């Protein structure tokens, strides 16, 4: 089952392979709820073409070592590869062995069967996905210190560091603390195919950059809590900011004049956080409707934002 915006996402689109693995299920238009009438996974060699999400594949990878024999999973045109590698890394730390290779836009994983997970002590890293919004805020107008981030993390959204290099944002990392300061932001081109969750924040960064920025990976946003690229375009337009979407690429002309007004997150936590960073740097008053949806991933977002001295009225 599911609730709220999750009910609109085609989360069952990748489930077809489960039928090959001895499972039977029913859902409507690839959306929740889904009902399983048979759910006994069988080992074997399986191939997935053009998966919609990495999350389903991570679930398969974690399940298959528990089967009675070896298996091979072949993923053609995988998305969010860093998250898959994070999954394999966590499995290995828990005593589960796999072998994998990546070549020709294909991930092949050999999974040894009849294994057991072992208890493990682990430190949970800080979340680069949440930190991105504060990084963008500091780059535009201020400075910030963020602790708890692993500079060597396998998290996909650590790619914000590559964007910062491209945009000439001033930052440093020392003894577990990321320091970001206000910068003259240069326009940038970036392919976010493996880290689509940071695209809303990147759009905001591009609005304050000199020149024209291009962000690829827009197609990955259609099946999120909302169709994020389109929602960002529509809501920014209410403030007089124009962005264009051409298939898989978002183009943003920087330093456009901004108006005040009322905008809506449409219940999407990352849209709400991105629009909040935009509003901080608007000379006019901006009201964000449905802003409390940030509780999905970052319940203290607005409290932390207030700690920076931001003028926020809820």
> Which residues participate in catalysis according to the annotation?
197
Contacts of 50 (CB under 8 A, 6+ apart): 76, 77
Residue 251 has a CB neighbour count (10 Å cut-off) of 15
- For residues 112 and 194, give the distance between their C-alpha atoms in angstroms, rounded to a whole number: 27
The CA distances from residue 42 to 63, 96, 107, in Å, are 10, 18, 20
Beta strands 286-289 and 261-264 are: parallel
What are 121's two structure tokens? Answer: 């002590």
- For residues 73 and 111, give the distance between their C-alpha atoms in angstroms, rounded to a whole number: 8
- State the first-to-last Cα distance of the chain, in angstroms, to the nearest integer: 32
126: closest CA among 101, 149, 160, 105? 149
Question: What is the three-class DSSP state of 24?
Answer: strand
H or E, element range at 177: strand 177-181
H or E, element range at 276: helix 269-280
- CA 182 to centroid of chain Cα atoms: 24
- DSSP secondary structure letter of residue 185: P
| CA torsion, ordered 257, 260, 264, 270, to nearest 10 deg | 50
Strand partners, 31: 28
With residues binned 3-state (H G I as helix, E B as strand, rest as coil), the percentages for the chain, rounded to 5, are 35, 25, 40
């Amino acid at each position: 089952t599911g609730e709220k915006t999750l009910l609109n996402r085609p989360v069952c689109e990748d489930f077809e392979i489960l039928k090959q693995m001895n499972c039977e299920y029913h859902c409507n238009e690839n959306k929740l709820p889904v009902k399983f009438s048979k759910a006994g996974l069988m080992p074997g060699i399986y191939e997935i073409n053009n998966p919609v999400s990495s999350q389903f594949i991570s679930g398969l990878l974690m399940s298959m070592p528990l089967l009675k024999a070896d298996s091979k999973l072949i993923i053609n045109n995988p998305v969010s590869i860093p998250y898959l590698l994070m999954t394999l890394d966590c499995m290995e730390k828990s005593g589960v062995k796999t072998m994998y290779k990546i070549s020709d836009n294909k991930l092949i994983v050999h999974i040894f069967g009849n294994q057991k997970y072992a208890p493990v002590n682990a430190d949970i890293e800080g979340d680069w996905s949440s930190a991105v919004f504060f990084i963008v805020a500091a780059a535009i107008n201020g400075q910030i210190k963020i602790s708890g981030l692993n500079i060597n993390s396998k998290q996909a959204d650590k790619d914000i560091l590559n964007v910062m290099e491209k945009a000439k944002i001033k930052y440093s990392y020392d003894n577990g603390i990321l320091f970001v300061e206000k910068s003259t932001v240069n326009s940038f081109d970036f392919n976010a195919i493996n880290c689509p969750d940071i695209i809303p924040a990147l759009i905001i960064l591009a609005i304050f950059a000199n020149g024209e920025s291009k962000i690829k990976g827009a197609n990955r946003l259609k099946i999120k809590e909302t169709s994020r690229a389109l929602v960002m375009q529509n809501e920014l337009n209410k403030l007089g900011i124009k962005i264009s979407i051409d298939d898989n690429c978002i183009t943003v002309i920087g330093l456009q004049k901004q108006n005040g007004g009322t905008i809506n997150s449409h219940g999407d936590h990352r849209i709400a956080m991105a629009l909040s960073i935009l509003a901080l740097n608007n000379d006019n008053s901006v009201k964000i409707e449905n802003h409390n949806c940030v509780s999905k991933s970052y319940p203290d977002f607005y409290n932390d934002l207030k700690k920076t001295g931001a003028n926020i009225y809820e």
